[in-house]
Structure 1
């Protein structure tokens, strides 16, 4: 599907779950994000972005598979590199192992979802699909946390040392 047709379909259908829309129309999540004009940076900045988000207060991490949408909320754990994985270090809550080398791009998506503004950092693999998404946290009035949102905006402009 060409980008013009994809943009038209996105406008007409206004999908709630972008992965479902991508699957239905046989495109990648990355193609949808590009069509939406979503800023993206190199996946080589995985470590820097992940580390900076660990400094934020509560966030929501989502992993979307064909069989479910898994959500976790809390303070993101730090990690270390070993045996080809980025290993999350947490004694409680979220733990696991990320194949960090699979991260090709990191996208920054702001959009309305179910009547509320959302902002998420999306780690994309080489196939253009989401490895995981991390959403900016909310205050007690369900508003995006301003400090996190400002940092989210700044991270979109990071570049690698080589300027890629």
Structure 2
């Protein structure tokens, strides 16, 4: 009998550019289980203790797409990643951006650098995973008018991923 990981890998092979959350829901596993089944060319995991260093780098990328994907919807916001500070048990995000709020930094277990096709186009994101294996939010490399990845952000994504190998 195939293990859950084997079944997830079969799903990913059958739909290499599909929605990862659909695989997690179909297999009744947290997103981390799906991310961990992506090959090393597609996913790199680092400890959540690197959150602040990674967040700081993201503040210099310019306009990105910030995504929160739950079973109930996909929420997207375009804007610059604002700076944040620790206070009262939260990482407080503030600045002149539509992206803002308060994160329980202590719940960030891992950060994943994801580089894979999505509906036929290369997609690169930084995904923050909580201690339950769920994705807290994702920061995607932005796209140009022609839907190609913004080259300057792609260079920054690749450099940040390499620094955390």
Q: Return the TM-score normalized by structure 2.
A: 0.88
Instruction: Please tell me whether the aligned partners of residues 41 and 156 of structure 1 are also in contact (alpha carbons under 8 angstroms).
Output: no
Which one of 116, 119, 123 corresponds to residue 121 of structure 2? 116
1:47 matched to which residue of 2?
52
Secondary structure at the aligned position of 1:4 is classed as: helix
2:12 matched to which residue of 1?
10
1:77 matched to which residue of 2?
82
Matches within 5 A, 1:139-154: 139-154=144-159
Which one of 62, 65, 79 corresponds to residue 60 of structure 1? 65
In structure 2, list runs of 5 or more residues that go unmatched.
none
Change (3 A) 1:154 1:22: same
Which one of 20, 24, 27 corresponds to residue 25 of structure 1? 27
Change (3 A) 1:113 1:122: same
Instruction: Please tell me whether the aligned partners of residues 40 and 156 of structure 1 are also in contact (alpha carbons under 8 angstroms).
Output: no
2:95 matched to which residue of 1?
90
> How far apart are residue 110 of structure 1 and its match?
1.2
Instruction: Please tell me whether the aligned partners of residues 44 and 104 of structure 1 are also in contact (alpha carbons under 8 angstroms).
Output: yes
Q: Deviations over 1:39-63 (max 9, x none)?
A: 1111000001111001011100001
> How far apart are residue 129 of structure 1 and its match?
1.0
Instruction: Tell me, in whole angstroms, the C-alpha distance in 1 between the residues paired with 2:49 and 2:151.
Output: 27
Q: Return the TM-score normalized by structure 1.
A: 0.89
Secondary structure at the aligned position of 1:157 is classed as: helix
RMSD: 1.8
In structure 1, list runs of 5 or more residues that go unmatched.
none
Instruction: Kindly indicate whether residue 140 of structure 2 is the aligned counterpart of residue 135 of structure 1.
Output: yes
2:112 matched to which residue of 1?
107
Secondary structure at the aligned position of 1:110 is classed as: strand
Instruction: Kindly indicate whether residue 162 of structure 2 is the aligned counterpart of residue 157 of structure 1.
Output: yes
